[in-house]
Structure 1
Amino acid sequence: MTEAHAELVEFIHQYPRLLVLTGAGISTDSGIPDYRDQQGQWKRQQPVQHPDFMRCEHTRKRYWGRSLVGWPVMRDALPNPAHNALAQLEQLGHVSLLVTQNVDGLHQRAGSHRVVDLHGRSDRVVCMSCDYRCSRNDTHRRSAELNPDFTHYTAATAPDGDADLEVDFSRFRIPECHRCGGILKPDVVFFGDNVPKQRVVNALDALEAADGLLVIGSSLMVYSGFRFCRKAQEWNKPIAALTLGKTRADALLSLKLNASITPLLQAALHGLNAQ
């Protein structure tokens, strides 16, 4: 067991009931790109902003047009061994709640049950006028039927079902709500929008009852995640972070593991089982 593995095992032993907060870094081994580099800077143009999506038809055309290329990559992604390790840690009683900033649903598919999808789920779509809900696959299929010429494009995959596609989107036909003709949007919290209050309350209640906080694969540059570190510090909860590169909470950490996520989690799980 390496020093990093031993440190993580010791942290879990010392603080056995953890609130775990995960970010994009845990899903990169599933083929889903992340947003930021190891310095916490954007790797590409910033994602769509909620106010822009709601008020600008061209932004919606561009979003759904790019999704025709990017969504299948996210839809078809499978849990990786890091997701599986956290599901097993939950079974062992070490994860009181898993709060994820990701919208890919991979924690649930790996077998985790106590999960808060802080930013929602990308496999669901909601009407912003009447609250009608449907599956993302249904909306994706309708988009393809309305825009057969766009189904032939290819582009590099971007985070959260996006793609680095730059074409003329002016002729793209946006699928509308079946019920009222309103604006359809993935049931996720876009940048510039607010996380629903009850999700935050539930997660903070679990953090207050937990022994410590373990952050995995997040730079914590977005306040919706960083707030949990602030609260953990306020409540004198130890904080460990397993992520490559800097985080916004580096000054608050009890333990920083700047290492690859999957092998370290697997090794730590093996160490816990052995003990």
Structure 2
Amino acid sequence: MTERIDDLTGLIAGGGVVVLSGAGLSTDSGIPDYRGPSGAARRHTPMTYQTFTRDSLARRRYWARSHLGWRTIARAAPNAGHRAVAGLQRRGLVDGVVTQNVDGLHQAAGSPSVVELHGSLDRVVCLTCGNLTSREELDLRLRQANPDFDARVAAVNPDGDVDLADADVTGFRVVDCGICSGGMLKPDVVFFGETVPAPRVADCFALVERARLLLVLGSSLTVMSGRRFVLRAAKAGVPVVIVNQGATRGDGYAALTVDAPLGAVLPELARRVDAAGPAALPAVPVGGGVPVGTASGGDPAPVAV
């Protein structure tokens, strides 16, 4: 572990870093992921854009679940990992953050220049007029429309909703857009069946191609939405470093992998960078695409397929 953090510190010290973060970075804030060690098995079919827009009963079920789950997301606070990334940005070592998360915790920790790849749960968009409103405003309107609605919540899912029985959502009232009077409201996030807006993807590709190093934090890179940036980095000759608990689908492209909790690695990394000062950290040269092992020692990192 110590040796790996030494290597990681040297790599980050060279600056020009772009961070790609996933759900594993937010688990210490009480938001579970699906695939990591603390992941929650998905017990319901993920909502698709097509189902949300075409099926009023499914839409009501979604908003009932999300209305309860939002309380946990809204209360979540940045953890030491988020603060460490923000600190590295303040030091000028991290040029930008691309996050797959929709919880807003990077910004809450003080990070500027965050690209929210999949949007954010704290915004709501009208699919008719395009008006954006805050989730706090919608939460108030839903509470007013459903003053007696409550249900026992066992756990919140990574995408900000909860599992409810059909009986629990009977009678839940969905509200429409207050600007165009009747427009369908949707969280400003990318649902299954939607695509990330092309300009947003292009901005992320440009960030990666300009980077000296792509640092992946807490993502299994299972889906192409995030993995494509690792593939683009490899194609552009930009070294990739991955810090994650467990193997990822990008390990075969990584110059360094650290298999360890982010809540332990990132604060220690930030501490070492701060202690060394701006001129005392030699950048360790890296060779793209060669995994050099895990945090625990010399065995090669496993590659997930």
**Whole-angstrom distance in 2 between the partners of 1:42 and 1:267:** 30
| Structure with bigger gyration radius | 2
Aligned-pair distance for 1:152?
4.6
Q: Look up the SS of the partner of 1:79 in the other structure.
A: coil
Partner residue, 1:240: 241
Please tell me whether the aligned partners of residues 122 and 136 of structure 2 are also in contact (alpha carbons under 8 angstroms).
yes
Change (3 A) 1:195 1:152: same
Q: Look up the SS of the partner of 1:151 in the other structure.
A: coil
Partner residue, 1:90: 89
**Whole-angstrom distance in 1 between the partners of 2:73 and 2:40:** 23
Q: State the 4+ residue runs in structure 1 displaced beyond 6 angstroms.
A: none
With normalisation by structure 1, the TM-score equals: 0.94
% of aligned pairs identical? 45
Structure 1 residues without counterparts, runs of 5 or longer: none
Partner residue, 1:29: 28
Aligned-pair distance for 1:44?
4.0
Structure 2 residues without counterparts, runs of 5 or longer: 277-305
Q: Look up the SS of the partner of 2:188 in the other structure.
A: strand
Deviations 1:130-150 (A, max 9, x none): 112211111122222222332
**Whole-angstrom distance in 1 between the partners of 2:132 and 2:42:** 32
**Whole-angstrom distance in 1 between the partners of 2:114 and 2:23:** 15
Partner residue, 2:268: 267
Please tell me whether the aligned partners of residues 27 and 38 of structure 2 are also in contact (alpha carbons under 8 angstroms).
no
Partner residue, 1:2: 2
Structure 2 matches for 1:197-208, cutoff 5 A?
197-208=198-209
Q: Look up the SS of the partner of 2:175 in the other structure.
A: coil
Q: Which amino acid aligns with 1:235?
A: A
Q: Which amino acid aligns with 2:200?
A: R
Q: Look up the SS of the partner of 1:111 in the other structure.
A: coil
**Whole-angstrom distance in 2 between the partners of 1:263 and 1:150:** 40
Aligned-pair distance for 1:115?
0.8
Please tell me whether the aligned partners of residues 88 and 270 of structure 2 are also in contact (alpha carbons under 8 angstroms).
yes
- Greater percentage in helix: 1
Aligned-pair distance for 1:254?
1.1
Q: Look up the SS of the partner of 1:240 in the other structure.
A: strand
Please tell me whether the aligned partners of residues 120 and 187 of structure 2 are also in contact (alpha carbons under 8 angstroms).
yes
Change (3 A) 1:94 1:46: farther
Change (3 A) 1:84 1:39: closer
Partner residue, 1:172: 172
Deviations 1:209-248 (A, max 9, x none): 1101000011111211111001001001110111111212
Report the number of matched residues.
274
Structure 2 matches for 1:9-158, cutoff 5 A?
9-13=9-13, 15-38=14-37, 43-158=42-157
With normalisation by structure 2, the TM-score equals: 0.85
Change (3 A) 1:43 1:154: closer
Change (3 A) 1:40 1:228: farther
Aligned Cα RMSD in Å? Answer: 1.9
Please tell me whether the aligned partners of residues 21 and 99 of structure 1 are also in contact (alpha carbons under 8 angstroms).
yes
Deviations 1:239-273 (A, max 9, x none): 01111112121211111111000111111111112
Aligned-pair distance for 1:41?
9.6
